[in-house]
Amino acid sequence: MARMRVSAAAAAALFVAVVVASPLLASSQQPAMAPAAAAAPTNNSRLEKAYVALQALKRAITDDPKNLTHSWCGPEVCGYFGVYCAAAPDDPCARTVAGVDLNHGDLAGTLPEELGLLTDLAVFHLNSNRFCGSLPDSLRNLHRLHEIDVSNNHLSGSFPSQLLCLPDLKYVDLRFNNLCGEVPAAIFEKKIDALFINNNNFDFKLTESFSNSTASVIVLANLPKLGGCLPSSIGDMAETLNELVLLNSGISSCIPPEIGKLDKLTVLDLSFNDFAGALPETIGHMRALEQLNVAHNGLAGEIPDSICALPHLKNFTYSHNFFCGEPHRCLEVPHVDDRQNCIAGRPDQRSGEECIAFLHRPPVHCDAHGCIAPLSPPPPPPPVHYAPPPPVY
């Protein structure tokens, strides 16, 4: 999944090349240098607003151990470290701030409302810092924002719904923070390419709207309050979805056979949940699949031979379930883990008592939405009719 990330310089360069057709920006590995073009006129309102925004951010930073903002002095914001300028999309003669990249800066502080003045910002990267508080509501003004990465910070509050207002947003990375509450279903309606919200405290359930997403990568891992069911409409994501990671997300569900329609999927991780029932044979139709992990669930039955015959499968992990059989072909997958199942003749399996006890559980039934259907209560006993006593004379 790391291949989805790009540096601010690369993303800003893409913004420049595709949106405004200007020269590439400087590499993110070096401090941003003043542009080769003539210095921006003092009446450039975009850079004046950027100066106000960046100075407000500098004041809100309470600890800068790497001295990244040492160069943030004076109005020439295009010379600030981590700030990238380009020609404005609606005025090629005016320069504007197109990217801010302060990744891995170990910066502490908060994010001020003045950041909303960076209305031409395409890339906003602040991962691996110590920013706290919530994302400012003024981010809804960043209508050209393409990427936001504020992962691995100490941010709190609810899901930043202001991101839903941004028409060009394609990459959203909020992972490893302390965000909580509902995740709006509308985030799955946006035409984004990557969504990372794992390792937060969100409390919501997967619904049918999940399958409306056009993202190529979705990571909802380590969200123990997620819950819900994997919808049977998941096959509707076949045109775009490449990686789906739902590990340790409290999902109690069957794996719908429609998942086999995801023929572009390369990574599927459903481990550490409460999936039950059989492993659908239709997974054998997912010809691009390379990594499949369904470990630590309540799956049972036989491993379908068609899954182990997938041409690109490199890693197949189905340990800590209750499978009772596997084709020999599965043992030829480069990396396979079948421990702690009920497979006769294989090492490190569950005890016979565990397997027999599992077999005596009521069978799992799934409804049309992929959810585990509750067991029907036993029928009431038939009414007892008592004969009246004989008459007494």
Q: What is the pLDDT of residues 223-250, one digit of tens each?
A: 988 888 899 999 999 999 999 999 999 8
Pairing of strands 267-269, 291-293: parallel
The residue ranges of every structural domain in the chain are 43-180, 196-374
Q: Among 95, 112, 113, which residue's Cα sits nearest to residue 42?
A: 95
Cβ neighbours of residue 297 under 8 Å, at least 6 residues apart?
270, 271, 272, 273, 274, 275, 276, 320, 321
Instruction: Let me know if the fold of 43-180 is the same as that of 196-374.
Output: yes
3-state secondary structure of 337: strand
Contact between residue 133 and residue 156 where contact means Cβ atoms under 8 Å apart: yes
How many Å apart are CA 102 and CA 85, to the nearest integer?
A: 15
**pLDDT at site 386:** 61
**pLDDT at site 372:** 79
Residue segments in the chain with a per-residue pLDDT below the cut of 70: 1-43, 373-391, 393
Pairing of strands 267-269, 243-245: parallel
Q: Among 39, 52, 168, which residue's Cα sits nearest to residue 94?
A: 39
**Amino acid code (one letter) for 165:** C
The percentage of residues in the chain with a pLDDT greater than 90, rounded to a whole number, is 76
**Maximum alpha-carbon separation in the chain:** 124
- DSSP β-bridge partners for residue 171: 147, 194
Domain 196-374 CATH class label: alpha beta
Contact between residue 243 and residue 216 where contact means Cβ atoms under 8 Å apart: yes
Q: Among 192, 216, 291, 305, which residue's Cα sits nearest to residue 247?
A: 291
Phi, psi of 6 (to 5 degrees): -130, 155
3-state secondary structure of 110: coil
**pLDDT at site 207:** 85
CATH superfamily, domain at 43-180: Ribonuclease Inhibitor (3.80.10.10)
CA 284, 286, 287 angle in degrees (round to 5)? Answer: 100
How many Å apart are CA 213 and CA 190, to the nearest integer?
A: 7
